Amino acid sequence: MSSYNGRMIRLNLTTGKSQVEEIPRQWMKDYLGGRGIGVRYLYEELKPGVEPLSPDNKVILMMGPLGATTAMSVSRMALVTKSPLTGAVAKSVMGGSFGAFLKFAGYDGIIVEGESAKPVYLHIDKDGIHLLDAAGLWGLDTQQTHQKLRQKHGKSTQVACIGPAGEKLVRYAVLISDLRCGGRTGVGAVLGAKKLKGFAVNSSGPLSLHDADGFKELTREIIEGLKTSPGRIRMSDFGTSYLTLGFEKVGIFPVKNFQEGHLEGIEKIGDEALAGIKTKNDGCYGCMTRCGQVRQVTKGPYAGAVSEGPDYETIWSLGGNLDNTDLGSLIAADSLCDRLGIDTVSAGNTIGFAYELYQRGIITKKDTDGLELNWGNHAAMMTLLEKIGNREGFGKLLGEGTKRAAEQIGKGAQDYAIQVKGLELPAYEPRAVKGYGLILATANIGASHMYGRPRDELSGKKDKLTEVDKGQDAAQAEISQATQDAVIQCSFGPVTGFNPQQRSDLLVAATGFKEFGDPAYLDKVGERILCLERCFNVREGFNRKDDTLPKRMRTEPLANAGPATGQVFKNLDGLLDEFYDALGYTRQGIPSEVKLKELGLDSVVADIKKFAK
Ligand code: SF4
């Protein structure tokens, strides 16, 4: 008995056939689950150089060993593919309940490959796995798709689907389950290229566990502690919106496409303002925190708009980054992104890029379909989101992401594309928090806020502005995130309630694998995952030159940003050396043969010798 089902669905959309296959037992021990097993499949099955939007790319949806159990905040789902934005490995984690019910149906994950000739969706129930016609769903937004699938298969059906943006190959399209999204890096576009509208599952629990009584006792203790945890309660009351005002004070919250660090009137979109229009909480399967804040606009031009959010990232991307403090527009824009199925971080960053080009006269009304892209113009933001999601007019170019859009525009536009490896930066100003800057520069998926979090810097325990002695911490933060994404546990620290040893004990009770009882073993799993992702990128031609930050961060002093005013990121090279040394990579950012063998990645050595540049 184990919480692993040990079974994957392999769906080939070219043939229209699916089969069920076993997950190699050693992969469970070496990679745990989620992002870990996902990247192992991707490395094994994708040849180098595959075009991300071609039938040869694959998407792996993968649960973790604690998913669908009674442990708190561990039932999220990893999505792994090759990104159409970056050409690198891509991972994202999606909340909701879809993954838990996939496990109840008897599967740990789904491998999607090939390309269908016509729109289809996958339905899983007690009678089996069915590939069904999605002609009546194609073109619908994500909410309409959820409704239609529930009308057809029953109210309790769990759904994950793409919206019009995924169908139309917007490079930062996402997969949405209820109001939870996964897919920074463009998983939605890869599914759209395969003409797979989504997934629906009907199933019921419970799941088998290796030691059900032991597991129950462990979770009982943890849940008792969580009931009074102040950090958890704050997440429940405010979600991540509580970060906004504090981060702006210390210059971390970027404004006007990272030109400065102060937002006049920020309190209008701060945590208290958002709490004033909150109607209820929502959340993922098996989470007592339910950090999702459902909010409804009550007055003004956006009255009636409802969204589950925005979180800190979206408050920034569609708010502060555009010098927009209109609360109603923020809710309406967040909701629109969810319905279209686009990533709010890349969308808001790309619109900020367009606003700055307009400010500088690099583009004019002739280029923007007549829109005046002045800072704070939230009506133009709404129009642009519609155009991006539907790939219309100027929105078609912006749907390519900042890197490709800048290359097409020319005239120096590249200097204002705030991205790393093609992925747009999130709501953290690297010049104001240097360890985070190093993580954004080195993350194998591009500049993601979900690839490691320098908690000591953010909490003020360590100096944010020094540029030495941060490589080890950044490496450890990336390793820890990789382990978390393999478990898969929620990244919001206080909400799971367990410490590393308790997590290990839960894993042993759930799976029966004794190795998991040692937290140091799980740390090695995280390091192995991180290293294999880097190896994937090495095969695709990535190396040290790609571990960088936008020119603005390296050359322009940060303006109007409290204690970070005047900061430039000067010593990225020194920090990269520290980071590579900490991980046993060469100074070119390539895993050394010794390190590969230490991590049991002997099978990868020949590839690295062949492809390392
Ligand atoms: S805290 Fe929020 S994101 Fe994390 S598991 Fe709970 S509902 Fe999901």
* Residues spanned by the domain of 577: 431-611
Choosing from 364, 397, 424, the residue where a domain stops is 424
Q: What is the CATH number of the domain that holds 532?
A: 1.10.599.10
> Degrees (nearest 5) of the Cα angle 538, 545, 52?
45
State how far the Cα of 510 lies from the Cα of 68, in Å rounded to an integer.
Answer: 11
pLDDT-derived band of residue 494, with 50, 70 and 90 as boundaries? confident
| 187 shares a domain with 88 | yes
| 239 shares a domain with 187 | no
Q: What six digits make up the tokens of 279? A: 């109607």
Q: How much is the average pLDDT of 440-459?
A: 96
Q: Whose CA is nearest to atom 8 of ligand 1?
A: 284
Report the share of the chain in percent with pLDDT over 70: 100
Decide: helix, strand or coil at residue 161: strand
In a domain, 215, yes or no: no
Residue whose entry in the numeric block shows the structure tokens 């829109």: 371
Look at residue 604 and tell me whether its pLDDT is greater than 90. Answer: yes
Look at residue 282 and tell me whether its pLDDT is greater than 80. Answer: yes
Each residue's pLDDT tens digit, 549-597: 999 999 999 999 999 999 999 999 999 999 999 999 999 999 999 999 9
CB 187 less than 6 A from any atom of ligand 1: no
Angle between helices 519-539 and 572-583 (to 10 degrees): 120
Cβ neighbourhood burial of 562 (10 Å; 0-12, 13-18, 19+):
middle
| 576 shares a domain with 437 | yes
| 23 shares a domain with 145 | yes
Q: How much is the average pLDDT of 188-212?
A: 96
In a domain, 107, yes or no: yes
Q: How much is the average pLDDT of 389-403?
A: 98
State which ligand 1 atom lies nearest to the alpha carbon of 491. Answer: 4
User: What's the CA-to-centroid distance between 292 and ligand 1, angstroms?
Assistant: 7
Three-state secondary structure readout of 301-358? CCCCCEEECCCHHHHHHCCHHHCCCCHHHHHHHHHHHHHHCECHHHHHHHHHHHHHHH
| 294 shares a domain with 197 | no
| 195 shares a domain with 269 | no
Q: What is the CATH number of the domain that holds 80?
A: 3.60.9.10
State how far the Cα of 438 lies from the Cα of 434, in Å rounded to an integer.
Answer: 6
The string over 307-327, giving b where at least 16 C-beta atoms fall within 10 Å of a residue's C-beta and e elsewhere, is bbbbbbbbbbbbbbbbbbbbb
CB-CB contact of 74 with 226 (8 Å): no
| 156 shares a domain with 300 | no
State which ligand 1 atom lies nearest to the alpha carbon of 235. Answer: 1
CB 175 less than 6 A from any atom of ligand 1: no
Decide: helix, strand or coil at residue 144: helix
In a domain, 448, yes or no: yes
| 188 shares a domain with 110 | yes
| 520 shares a domain with 408 | no
- Among 179, 290, 484, the mutation site with the greatest number of ligand 1 atoms within 8 A of its Cβ is 290
Q: Is the peptide bond before 266 cis (omega within 30 degrees of 0)?
A: no
Q: How much is the average pLDDT of 184-210?
A: 96
State which ligand 1 atom lies nearest to the alpha carbon of 74. Answer: 5
State how far the Cα of 498 lies from the Cα of 506, in Å rounded to an integer.
Answer: 9
Each residue's pLDDT tens digit, 131-179: 999 999 999 999 999 999 999 999 999 999 999 999 999 999 999 999 8
Look at residue 206 and tell me whether its pLDDT is greater than 90. Answer: no
User: What's the CA-to-centroid distance between 310 and ligand 1, angstroms?
Assistant: 14
Q: Is the peptide bond before 206 cis (omega within 30 degrees of 0)?
A: yes
pLDDT-derived band of residue 613, with 50, 70 and 90 as boundaries? confident
In a domain, 216, yes or no: no
| 525 shares a domain with 506 | yes
Q: What six digits make up the tokens of 5? A: 């089902």
Choosing from 390, 405, 424, the residue where a domain stops is 424
CB 94 less than 6 A from any atom of ligand 1: no
User: What's the CA-to-centroid distance between 428 and ligand 1, angstroms?
Assistant: 21
Choosing from 395, 424, 453, the residue where a domain stops is 424
SS3 content of the chain, % helix, strand, coil (to 5): 45, 15, 40
Each residue's pLDDT tens digit, 108-140: 999 999 999 999 999 999 999 999 999 999 999
Q: What is the CATH number of the domain that holds 277?
A: 1.10.569.10
One-letter identity of residue 356: E
CB under 8 Å to 128, separation ≥6 — which residues? none
In a domain, 243, yes or no: yes
- Among 234, 492, 496, the mutation site with the greatest number of ligand 1 atoms within 8 A of its Cβ is 492
State which ligand 1 atom lies nearest to the alpha carbon of 495. Answer: 1
The pLDDT of residue 530 is 98
User: What's the CA-to-centroid distance between 284 and ligand 1, angstroms?
Assistant: 5
Each residue's pLDDT tens digit, 512-560: 999 999 999 999 999 999 999 999 999 999 999 999 999 999 999 999 9
Nearest Cα neighbor of 485 from 445, 540, 517, 455 is 445
Query: What is the number of structural domains in the chain?
Result: 3
State which ligand 1 atom lies nearest to the alpha carbon of 490. Answer: 4
Q: What six digits make up the tokens of 599? A: 């991590």
Nearest Cα neighbor of 509 from 6, 66, 102 is 66
CB-CB contact of 571 with 471 (8 Å): no
User: What's the CA-to-centroid distance between 570 and ligand 1, angstroms?
Assistant: 37
State how far the Cα of 318 lies from the Cα of 313, in Å rounded to an integer.
Answer: 9
The pLDDT of residue 138 is 98
The pLDDT of residue 550 is 98
| 541 shares a domain with 393 | no
The pLDDT of residue 205 is 82
In a domain, 81, yes or no: yes
Residue ranges in 460-592 assigned as alpha helix (H): 471-487, 500-511, 519-539, 551-555, 572-583
In a domain, 46, yes or no: yes
CB under 8 Å to 286, separation ≥6 — which residues? 68, 69, 70, 71, 72, 73, 74, 75, 100
Q: Whose CA is nearest to atom 1 of ligand 1?
A: 291
CB 73 less than 6 A from any atom of ligand 1: yes
- Among 495, 496, 498, the mutation site with the greatest number of ligand 1 atoms within 8 A of its Cβ is 495
In a domain, 222, yes or no: no
User: What's the CA-to-centroid distance between 166 and ligand 1, angstroms?
Assistant: 24
Q: How much is the average pLDDT of 406-424?
A: 98
| 437 shares a domain with 413 | no
